[in-house]
Structure 1
Amino acid sequence: MFYGSMVAIITPFTAEGTFDEESYRQLIEFQIENGTDVIVPCGTTGESATLNYEEHNQVIKTCIEQVNKRVPVIAGTGSNATAEAIEISQHAKEMGADGILLVSPYYNKPSQEGLFQHYKAIAENVALPQVLYNVPGRTGMNMTAATTIRLAEFDNIVAIKEASGDLTQASEIIANAGDKIDVLSGDDFLTLPLMACGAKGVISVTANILPKEVKSMVKSIQNGQWDEARKQHLNLLDVHQAMFIESNPVPVKTSASLMGKCQADVRLPLVSMGDATLEKLKTVLSKHQLI
């Protein structure tokens, strides 16, 4: 249902710390003009953790309005409280989202059965296509392949964004439930190997600044042009790595700022990049002629 090059889009702020709607709309146009297949607002890269309810809804609404049905919008609506995730997800549905992205409950550290019941409750209460999001480095726990395979039985659970970094785990999901649930790469640097195993695309950080190039690599894979895809993958590797030299989304937002697309401002507890890492980032961006 959702496939190809998808961007986990940043949320720009003004110098005063408020949502910069005009810059956001321009960022969305930049994505669509360069072939991005799906826009994903209010994910980790969109700083959902520091948006209040009103802002969260405003960002999703603005995205849906600006996209205007040209590509699908998957709204980030996850929470570590099941009832809260249901409420936010229902609101996204009312606003017109095409799907929702649901990060695994963080901080609580539920059991695998708790994870299953969490996602089951959302699936039963929100009539939208749902993308699970497994990111152990952020949540403190891993959702196993077995749990994902159980959840694949729900018709409206259509995909999982796998950011565990575990190719074996992702492959196990594809091998046992690939006809019921799509796997999407949650790590840019693993897009090629995961798609070689049968994943359907990537929800990308790098696409914020190189949407055309990420889309081109994904298209090469889809067309079976493996030599070209490998070349593109290796060419982008240093950019993918640079996007995580500090906590995401600080590097990618700083990159977008250096490119003149928005302010670099992030919200506490995130802070601006340190001088040493900033110089490393600039070196990579210069190499790719982004600045």
Structure 2
Amino acid sequence: MPADRTPPTGISGFPVTPYFESGAIDEQALQENIEFLLEEGLESIFIACGAGEITNLSTEEFDKAAQLAISKVNGRVPVYTGVGGNLLDAVEKAEISEKRGADGYLVLPPYLVESEQEGLYEYYKAIVTSTDLNAVLYQRANAVVNLNTLQRLTEFPQVVGLKDGVGDMELNVELTQEIGDRLGWLNGMPMAEVTMPAYLPLGYNCYSSAISNYIPHISRRFYDALLEQDQATVNDIYHNIILPINRVRRKRKGYAVSLIKAGMEIVGLPVRNTVRPPVVPVEKEHYEELRQILKTAHEKYPSSRKVSI
């Protein structure tokens, strides 16, 4: 049967990797958190990616996380893994993903190297042709392709989408208008809710939501309000929830990951404010700021799930 080349749409969940205080992965917590995202209606799961601390996982841990996620999801939504960095390591993780039954993977940037477009093309080509899985390319840091490079990469049927984490809107206009619906377009900016109103008109109909790990009902309400052009609700959620959380997130490097874990712990999910270096845990003062924001969020927009903050 030919592979389903449908790209992700809607809100994508990027589970964190929960750790015990010892530093070992809490597998039960990971499964419970994935189930929470599924129950809240997220349209896809991306396991062991940036929020999941892909660079801090051994190959064996990556394999286990992929197995757990694919088993827990059990075909309810597409499951993508994260690959990238060293080329051989990326290919190995892509092959593991295919072996475990993933629907695809997100290709993160190569490690450190600033490359010419031809180098990026060859990097992506080697990865996407190593399996028949769907591939979403991630524009980020030292991996930003131009129109010509992306057009060449669309010759491979495995390439189903592009996720943007750069925010170059001139480039985004050129890519989306010239390539159109050949690719799915995913907003992968840090705390993507902040920029989604600007991305939506360009054809970006999917985004990765960090806050969906702990307030997915608000992610959904925000996105629905955008689609329905309910500007009053968009503005209210911006003012009371999204922008305040984003201000806390920007206070320390690494909070793009650890603040998610703090938020999950605050709302009672089985996650500790524990990360692996070089990521740092959320400081007490910032943790309390987040708690107050989430308390306000649940007062204004109660969830169907009982939460005590």
Residue 285 to residue 60, structure 1, CA distance change in 2 (3 Å): same
CA contact (8 A) 1:14 1:265 kept: yes
CA contact (8 A) 1:37 1:72 kept: yes
Letter in 2 for 1:107: L
Kindly state the Cα deviation for residue 76 of structure 1 after the two structures are TM-superposed. 0.9
Structure 2 counterpart of 1:230:
234
CA contact (8 A) 1:206 1:240 kept: no
Residue 205 to residue 4, structure 1, CA distance change in 2 (3 Å): same
Match of 2:265 among 257, 270, 274: 257
Letter in 2 for 1:180: R
Match of 1:151 among 140, 153, 158: 153
1:127-150 CA-to-partner distances (Å, cap 9, x unmatched) read 0110011121xxx45333443333
Question: Which stretches in structure 2 are left out of the alignment for 5+ residues?
Answer: 1-5, 299-306
CA contact (8 A) 1:205 1:243 kept: no
Distance in 2 of aligned mates of 1:169 and 1:33 = 36
Distance in 2 of aligned mates of 1:95 and 1:160 = 23
Secondary structure at the residue paired with 2:11?
Answer: strand
CA contact (8 A) 1:103 1:133 kept: yes
- State the TM-score, normalizing by the size of structure 2: 0.86
Distance in 2 of aligned mates of 1:198 and 1:57 = 33
Kindly state the Cα deviation for residue 229 of structure 1 after the two structures are TM-superposed. 6.5
Residue 232 to residue 209, structure 1, CA distance change in 2 (3 Å): farther
Kindly state the Cα deviation for residue 54 of structure 1 after the two structures are TM-superposed. 0.4
Letter in 2 for 1:258: I
Structure 2 counterpart of 1:285:
294
- C-alpha RMSD over aligned residues: 2.0
Distance in 1 of aligned mates of 2:28 and 2:132 = 31
CA contact (8 A) 1:145 1:170 kept: no
Residue 185 in 1 paired to residue 187 in 2?
A: yes
Letter in 2 for 1:211: P
Matches within 5 A, 1:263-278: 263-278=272-287
Letter in 1 for 2:202: C
Residue 237 to residue 10, structure 1, CA distance change in 2 (3 Å): same
Kindly state the Cα deviation for residue 226 of structure 1 after the two structures are TM-superposed. 4.7
Residue 241 to residue 209, structure 1, CA distance change in 2 (3 Å): farther
1:105-132 CA-to-partner distances (Å, cap 9, x unmatched) read 1312222111111111122221011001
1:58-104 CA-to-partner distances (Å, cap 9, x unmatched) read 011100001111111111122x2222211110110110101111102
Structure 2 counterpart of 1:124:
129
Distance in 2 of aligned mates of 1:186 and 1:66 = 24
Structure 2 counterpart of 1:167:
169
Structure 2 counterpart of 1:26:
32
Distance in 2 of aligned mates of 1:146 and 1:216 = 37
Distance in 2 of aligned mates of 1:237 and 1:144 = 31
Secondary structure at the residue paired with 1:125?
Answer: coil
Residue 144 to residue 275, structure 1, CA distance change in 2 (3 Å): farther
Distance in 2 of aligned mates of 1:186 and 1:229 = 22
1:231-285 CA-to-partner distances (Å, cap 9, x unmatched) read 4662533334434433120111111112221111101122222334333323322
Residue 153 to residue 233, structure 1, CA distance change in 2 (3 Å): farther
Distance in 2 of aligned mates of 1:54 and 1:215 = 34
Distance in 2 of aligned mates of 1:229 and 1:68 = 34
Residue 219 to residue 98, structure 1, CA distance change in 2 (3 Å): farther
Distance in 2 of aligned mates of 1:73 and 1:271 = 28
CA contact (8 A) 2:225 2:234 kept: no
CA contact (8 A) 2:273 2:282 kept: no
CA contact (8 A) 1:135 1:163 kept: yes
Match of 1:71 among 32, 57, 77: 77
CA contact (8 A) 1:36 1:212 kept: no
Letter in 1 for 2:145: M
Kindly state the Cα deviation for residue 41 of structure 1 after the two structures are TM-superposed. 0.6
Residue 12 in 1 paired to residue 30 in 2?
A: no
Residue 199 in 1 paired to residue 201 in 2?
A: no
Question: Which stretches in structure 1 are left out of the alignment for 5+ residues?
Answer: none
- State the TM-score, normalizing by the size of structure 1: 0.91
CA contact (8 A) 2:15 2:47 kept: yes
